Structure 1
Amino acid sequence: MAENTWQRYELRLRVHPQTLADVRRAVGARLRLWGRDELITAAAMCVTELLSNVHKHAASPDCVLALQERPHGIYAAVSDTESGLPVVKEPDFLSESGRGMFLLSKTAHTWGTDLTPTGKTVWFTLRAEAVDP
């Protein structure tokens, strides 16, 4: 990767189930632009989970998605107006929902939640696998 100042992408959106495919395409396009193609599938899944939680649990569907290029991967965050924290539960594979944060916790390199004056930010990092020369 060439010398670079790490880039940031931010998208303000109103979450609705029909917007998720467009957001996944935007995430994929941004990661391709940054040369992080190997992270697209994992990033799209994790972002979709966070946005689905906004749709299901937040009082307002308005949120901000931020992506930032990092030396060994990416950082992604979704900020919303809900102060309730996400919970990772052991999945019930017979249930139609409730597996998302479990999958995110197993996919992301790190993840966490920061309370803000207006709600919270849930973030995750993904690391690119080292490639042998």
Structure 2
Amino acid sequence: MAENIPQRFELRLRVHPQTLADVRRAVGARLRLWGREELITAAAMCVTELLSNVHKHAASPECALALENRRHGIHAAVSDTEFALPVVREPDFLSESGRGMFLLSKTAHEWGTELTATGKTVWFTLHAEAVDP
């Protein structure tokens, strides 16, 4: 890990479908800066799914995204003001929605939820293929 580069990145945002591409670019840029290029596609997809859930299900479209560069990969978390926890459903491939948490559960190495005083945080980790000694 680069010593002079902050290993945590936080972004407060208002989720709207038109902002998702910008967020994916920001995630990709941060992971490139950390030397985690191999995780960009998976991280961008997982973050997009969590932010899409905020847009569709949370009472407020405002949320916080946090990324951390860790020894074995990255940890990402999205916090919002909704107390209802996400549910992984078997996907109906004919439906236009409902596959986000299923995709996240199949892509992330670990994921989970935490209730907070103001809502919830949904997090995931992605492990890097090669780990620095």
Verify same fold: TM over 0.5.
Answer: yes
Match of 2:27 in 1: 27
Partners of 1:63 and 1:3 lie apart in 2 by 29
Gaps (5+ residues) in structure 1? none
Q: Deviations over 1:27-75 (max 9, x none)?
A: 0000000000000000000000000000000000000000000101000
Go from structure 1 to structure 2 and tell me whether the alpha carbon gap of 1:125 and 1:3 turns closer, same or farther (over 3 Å shift): same
Give 1:33's aligned amino acid.
L
Residues of 1 paired with 2:100 and 2:62: CA distance?
Answer: 20
Report the AA paired with residue 69 of structure 2.
Answer: E
Whether contact under 8 Å (1:6, 1:70) holds in the other structure is no
- Equivalent positions of 1:47-62 (< 5 A) are 47-62=47-62
3-state DSSP of counterpart to 1:38: helix
Read off the aligned partner of 1:63 and give its amino acid letter: C
Which residue does the alignment assign to 2:73?
73
Alignment TM-score, normalising by the size of structure 1: 0.94
Cα distance in 2 between the residues matched to 1:4 and 1:32: 15
Question: 3-state SS of the aligned residue for 2:32?
Answer: helix
Q: Secondary structure at the match of 2:89?
A: coil
* C-alpha distance in structure 2 between counterparts of 1:6 and 1:71, whole Å: 14
Q: CA deviation at 1:3?
A: 6.0
1: CA distance between counterparts of 2:86 and 2:32?
29
8 A Cα contact 2:9 2:67, kept in partner = yes
Written as runs of structure 1 = structure 2, the 5 A alignment for 1:85-124 is 85-124=85-124
Aligned to 2:63: 63
Contact 1:6 1:71 in 2 (8 A): no
Partner of 1:82: 82
Matched residue count? 131
2:44 aligns to what?
A: 44
Three-state SS of the structure 2 residue aligned to 1:11 is: strand
* Structure 2 letter corresponding to 1:29: A
User: Percent same amino acid at aligned positions?
Assistant: 87
Asked if 1 retains the 8 angstrom alpha-carbon contact of 2:2 and 2:34, the reply is: no
